[in-house]
Chain A
């Protein structure tokens, strides 16, 4: 790339170093890394959902087997941890949206707080619909 390359050409300058544990040095760096890690758990939920669909497609016996495995303590613990990470992923995503989305209406910029709030509102509505379906309508 044409821009930059190395930090300096000054041989007497003290070169900057970054430790392997840089992400533990500040709380905000740590939370950022947790946000990055949350992608793994999002991926696990996708795989878990696909496994569920496959089990349903194979019939009643496979579905019951899937439910039994899902009730194992290890899977329950994994899914509980995944839920925490996915919620954190969602919250951080929604909080960052106003920084990325610039929406104008009627020649005026829509406030970022309104864009963020609309995402939370949509989340609440979808969650309510899912809860209504699961609880038997």
Chain B
């Protein structure tokens, strides 16, 4: 395996270090990294947690493609070498660890939670939802915040102000939720230039998503919503929103 190394205390640029790792059939790239960490070089730094494609913390570039390393098998690359780099478009803190602060700020800005103008009293019970209403947003709720879509998005790489695919997809997840009443608040944030209009529909976010979420589709649908909202508020200023 060829693994990217960056140690800020050295004041040097990022380099690659080669390791000999057994290529076992059932091993994912993350297993290879764990083998290096446990048996060869304990100084290697990377993030991981669940090893089952749920936590979204082990996203890295594997042979140039952004992947969840727990779901990408070493055997897929034959006898190697397998080149592992940090996710693109993010600042590298150390080795394979990137700074996710920008994404976390942007995610919070779109209010990815159910917004209610007034909560109904507990005595009235829970907010019921039909299977059809659940299906409306289910796909977008599969997002695990792994940021692989940001790594594949050239728009985010070129313009760090762009809110980005996952944050918009998650905003759409709550907009499409029948229990939510916060779509107007989110639209104010996302209808800015750095929001949905920054997207040029490259579509890579959807192709690389390990959970089959369609952020590109979410963004284009949001553009349609924003355009309709704009026209409605223009022609019906009192009844628009």
A residues at B contact (CB < 8 Å): 1-10, 12-16, 18, 22-23, 25-26, 28-29, 32, 36, 96, 99-100, 102, 107, 109
Contact = CB atoms under 8 A, between A and B. Distances in A.
B219 to A, nearest CB: 9
B126 to A, nearest CB: 23
B14 interface: yes
In this complex, the member of A4, A26, A102 whose beta carbon has the largest number of chain B beta carbons within 10 angstroms is A4
Nearest to B160: A7
Interface in B92-146: 92-93, 99, 101-102, 105-106, 109-110, 132, 135
Contacts of B37: none
Interface residues of B, number: 44
Contact of B102 (A7, A22, A36, A109): A7
B79 to A, nearest CB: 24
Nearest to A102: B221
B29 to A, nearest CB: 20
B31 interface: no
Contacts of A99: 203, 206, 214, 216-217, 220
Contact of B163 (A4, A18, A26, A96): A4
B48 interface: no
Given A7-B102, A14-B91, A14-B92, A2 B189 contact: yes
A38 B203 CA distance: 17
B75 interface: no
A107 B130 CA distance: 12
Contacts of B102: 4-8
A44 B154 CA distance: 28
B93 to A, nearest CB: 5
B43 interface: no
B73 interface: no
A1 B161 contact: yes
A1 B194 contact: yes
A90 to B, nearest CB: 15
Given A29-B202, A36-B200, A13 B91 contact: yes
Given A22-B154, A99-B217, 11 more contacts: A1-B161, A1-B192, A3-B109, A3-B110, A7-B89, A8-B101, A14-B91, A18-B89, A23-B154, A28-B202, A100-B221
Contacts, number: 101
Interface in B199-236: 200-204, 206-207, 214, 216-217, 220-221, 224
B157 interface: yes
Interface string B174-207: 0000000000000001001010000011111011
Nearest to B97: A13
A99 B92 CA distance: 33
A10 B91 contact: yes
Nearest to B223: A100
Contact of B8 (A5, A13, A22, A23): A13
Nearest to A96: B201
A100 B102 CA distance: 27
B173 interface: no
